[in-house]
Chain A
Amino acid sequence: MQNQSITQRLANPTRFMQLTDWLMPLTAAIAVVVIAAGLYLALFVAPPDYQQGETVKIMFIHVPSAWLGMMGYLMIAISSFGLLVFRHPLADVSAKAAAPIGAAFTLLALITGSLWGKPMWGTYWVWDARLTSVLILFFLYLGLMALRSALDDESLAAKQAAVLGLVGVVILPIIKFSVDWWNTLHQPASVVKLDGPAIHSSILVPLLVNAVGFSILFLALHMKAMRNEVLRRRVKALRLAEVERAAKRERTAAAPAE
């Protein structure tokens, strides 16, 4: 038992439900505290940028949203790998649960980005490589959700969504390096750089606090969505059991008449 890895121990949905019963609310509470601190720093402490003025405040929510939009997809890709290669029982639950959350953060990255673009670039939208690749990421999320809802057979839907999820992961390096590979209106990386961040600490600290807070929130939401999915599958299994039981009763009632 002690030699089991965490993923092996969590392979049992019942054990996952027991663990997340207290871990999920705790994670959510920590997320609320960290995000509150991050928003306080962003709105009341961080100075205006020397070029962008107060609109830099949009960055404190835009950048974490964009990171988590990508992290959501990475989670789907890892879960898809876990399903296809290791047949982990919760891998598909994890992949399915991450899609709407990742889609929501990607949508927020697009909305806050365009609201930042209008005052800074003079336009809500340009078809440059960074913006377009993030839009494709959003469509990939929608595609994954549509694929699942189009297939009634859950195990077939799981496999097909896992293949699409793995193929689609190619969008992540394209998004990350789009600002280096092509001429974009979007600014190049300024936080995750080999030679260290190019942002002053007065702006970097609130950004990182918000990023940590949003990430913890993502984990809490993902746990909640996974719990809902486990319950949904239990409901489905019970309904099947009920139908089977009714069919069996009918067969035994009809048997003496034959």
Chain B
Amino acid sequence: MLAMIDLGPHAAYIWGSYGAVALVLAALVAWLWFDGRRQRRLLAELESRGVRRRSDRG
């Protein structure tokens, strides 16, 4: 569908802009996603070793 659009003589600049937005936003989403997974894994490891925060011990 995208190939059907004729963007004229400056098409490369237009597609370059949209590509840059897609790339940077995808990298941002991926970084946040993997960072979240990593923190959850670290938290689960610590909790499985029986480590509790003082506030959780009651």
Binding site for B on A (CB under 8 A): 43-44, 48, 53-55, 57-58, 61-62, 65, 100-101, 104, 107-108, 111-112, 115-116, 118-119, 217, 221, 224-225, 227-228, 231-232, 234-235, 237-239, 241-242, 245
A213 to B33, CA, bound (A): 20
Q: Are B16 and A245 in touch, CB under 8 angstroms?
A: no
CB of B46, distance to nearest CB on chain A (Å)? 4
Interface residues on B, range: 35 or more
Note all chain B residues with C-beta closer than 8 A to A242.
Answer: 46, 49, 51
Q: Is the CB of A221 within 8 A of B51?
A: no
Proximity bits, B32-58, A CB within 8 Å = 1, else 0 = 110110011011001101011110000
Interfacial chain A residues near B17, Cβ < 8 Å? 57-58, 61-62, 111-112, 115-116
Q: How far is the CA of A55 from the CA of B16 in the complex (A)?
A: 11
Contact B32 A224 (CB under 8 A): yes
Are B14 and A58 in touch, CB under 8 angstroms? yes
Supposing A55-B13, A61-B21, A104-B25 touch, asked if A228 and B7 sit within 8 A by C-beta, the answer is no
Would A54 and B36 be within 8 Å (CB), given that A43-B2, A231-B43 are in contact?
Answer: no
Known: A224-B36, A228-B36, A241-B52. 18 other contacts (CB 8 A): A44-B5, A48-B8, A53-B8, A55-B13, A58-B13, A61-B18, A104-B25, A108-B25, A111-B20, A111-B24, A116-B13, A221-B29, A224-B32, A225-B32, A228-B35, A235-B46, A242-B46, A242-B49
Q: Can you name the residue of chain B whose Cβ is closest to the Cβ of A238?
A: B46
Question: Which residue among A53, A57, A237 has the maximum number of chain B CB atoms within 10 Å of its CB?
Answer: A57
Q: Complex Cα distance A242/B51, Å?
A: 6
User: If the complex has contacts A61-B21, A115-B17, A116-B17, are A238 and B53 also in contact, measured as CB distance less than 8 A?
Assistant: yes
Q: With the chains together, A45 CA to B7 CA distance in Å?
A: 13
Q: Which of B10, B29, B33, B52 contacts A54 (CB 8 A)?
A: B10
- Which of B47, B51, B53, B54 lies at the interface centre, i.e. has the most chain A CB atoms within 10 A of its CB? B51
Interchain CA distance A57-B18 in the complex, whole Å: 9
Residue contacts A-B, CB under 8 angstroms, 25 given: A43-B5, A53-B8, A55-B14, A57-B17, A61-B17, A65-B21, A101-B28, A104-B27, A104-B28, A107-B24, A108-B25, A111-B17, A112-B20, A115-B13, A116-B13, A119-B13, A221-B32, A231-B39, A232-B39, A234-B39, A234-B53, A238-B43, A238-B52, A238-B53, A242-B49
A108 CA to B21 CA, complexed, in Å: 6
Q: Nearest Cβ in chain A — how far from B4, in angstroms?
A: 9
A104 contacts B24, CB within 8 Å?
Answer: yes
Q: Which chain A residue has the least Cβ–Cβ distance from B16?
A: A115
| B46, A115: Cβ atoms closer than 8 Å | no
